[in-house]
Structure 1
């Protein structure tokens, strides 16, 4: 029987179904012996098992791998990679640089927040379609509420096809993986938006959550899955900046900055 205060219910030893470490003996991962039962798993298989508690077919795991691989861009101009590069330039540690870069990957406009919102919308839209609502009505209402549909349009290349999507679809075809209901819905949303006069091509956010949704992930599990998806591009940016002279990455003269604030003044004028 539960007490009146939730903390009283959880007082004492930690109760968990996720696993535990028994130094010198074994490690348990979601009820499996990590070094016996799961010793053949690669890292993505283990990572998704930890998130969902489920095992996936080899072709599905290969596709999940690709969703990370195809967005691993070692370009220091990208907002999150820039943080890693500047950390290397400032002679910070790799752990701090990469961790900070992962943290800022949650940018609201073009980071992981759109992925979570896109997954949530796909689930809601799918339920509404099954209930008999027209997709155009669903999109009209969503646009009235939020003015945009996350997962559609791309700030850096609004009118172009997201180069990662054809690569994902080609892999699915090679692995004989059919498009599931969420991925089909994601592309139907793109077509319907075009018919409504909204030229917002589908972007990687919608695809990278639709595929896990079709594998049984929840929106929160989709979010956790995409967390490391940019990480492979970060260490190269950190390393290259660390190899340059300190402070030399993205060096900029003051004369190159267009300033429109208060005019230059003497310190004595402010006394």
Structure 2
């Protein structure tokens, strides 16, 4: 139903299947009592239950935790951490600074966008392979239309995070899924095309998540706090320095291409108006 009817249907009440707070008594979270049934959950376990409605085992949770841990870089030079640090430098609040930094994390070239595009491609590619399409054809047709996210890196082609996450995936025996195998095969095809197109963190985490049953939308929600743990140290350190001293630029560092330097003419001093 659309139009005025749908508005009348929703006026004055909230229809929900996710949950509700009954103030003073209990809170329902996806059909469960949050405190009585879910109160002992690990935070990421609850977060994933809210996203997917599914429960994850200890090995799966350990791997998903590591996806966040291994990319929590407390480096204020990184694009999103810089926002958090600048917020601390100008004495903003943690909530404002960190939320702005998380918003900046959905960058197109590096950040949230590649994670989503990577899992979308891998899920679609596997469906096509299962239907008999050659993977080389899939990859080259995709390249003809747009870049394949999850391969290549702006600064260095080698991604230092991959060995650590892969080692953990092997330790918990979650490195044998079809999407991960497909992701490595895509890498072989791409590297033959351009040696700089090695797998990066987006493709690895997307493949592992796809093998855990994540949809594109579920993985999009999961990756939101991916960089969070590295942001707060940047905010705190900047807030402990003199205000406004983070990344100052002198005029000499500004490449100015406007009008040349001009001489200002002194204003002619006029006598005051006589009194009437």
Query: Where does structure 1 lack aligned partners over 5 or more consecutive residues?
Result: none
Query: Could you say which residue in structure 2 is the equivalent of 1:46?
Result: 46
From 222, 229, 234, the counterpart of 2:231 = 234
- Of the structure 1 ranges 111-120 and 47-56, higher mean CA displacement relative to structure 2 is found in 111-120
Q: 1:94-114, CA deviations, whole angstroms, 9 ceiling, x for partnerless residues?
A: 111101000000111101011
RMSD between aligned alpha carbons? Answer: 1.7
- 8 Å CA contact 2:175–2:208 kept in 1: the answer is no
Distance 1:266 1:224, change over 3 A: farther
Rounded Cα–Cα distance in structure 1 between residues aligned with 2:176 and 2:83: 36
Query: Could you say which residue in structure 1 is the equivalent of 2:150?
Result: 151
After TM superposition, list the pairs within 5 Å mapping 1:125-140 onto structure 2.
Answer: 125-140=125-140
Distance 1:253 1:3, change over 3 A: closer
- 8 Å CA contact 1:67–1:229 kept in 2: the answer is yes
After TM superposition, list the pairs within 5 Å mapping 1:63-74 onto structure 2.
Answer: 63-74=63-74
- 8 Å CA contact 2:101–2:231 kept in 1: the answer is yes
Q: Does the residue aligned with 1:143 lie in a helix, a strand or coil?
A: helix
TM-score (norm 2): 0.91
- 8 Å CA contact 1:3–1:9 kept in 2: the answer is no
Query: Could you say which residue in structure 2 is the equivalent of 1:208?
Result: 205
- 8 Å CA contact 1:85–1:241 kept in 2: the answer is yes
Q: Does the residue aligned with 1:170 lie in a helix, a strand or coil?
A: helix
Cα drift, residue 266 of structure 1: 5.4
- Of the structure 1 ranges 229-238 and 204-213, higher mean CA displacement relative to structure 2 is found in 204-213
Q: Based on CA coordinates, which of the two structures has the bigger radius of gyration?
A: 2
From 239, 252, 256, the counterpart of 1:255 = 252
Q: After TM superposition, what 4+ stretches of structure 1 lie above 6 angstroms from structure 2?
A: none
Q: Does the residue aligned with 1:76 lie in a helix, a strand or coil?
A: coil
- 8 Å CA contact 2:152–2:200 kept in 1: the answer is yes
TM-score (norm 1): 0.93
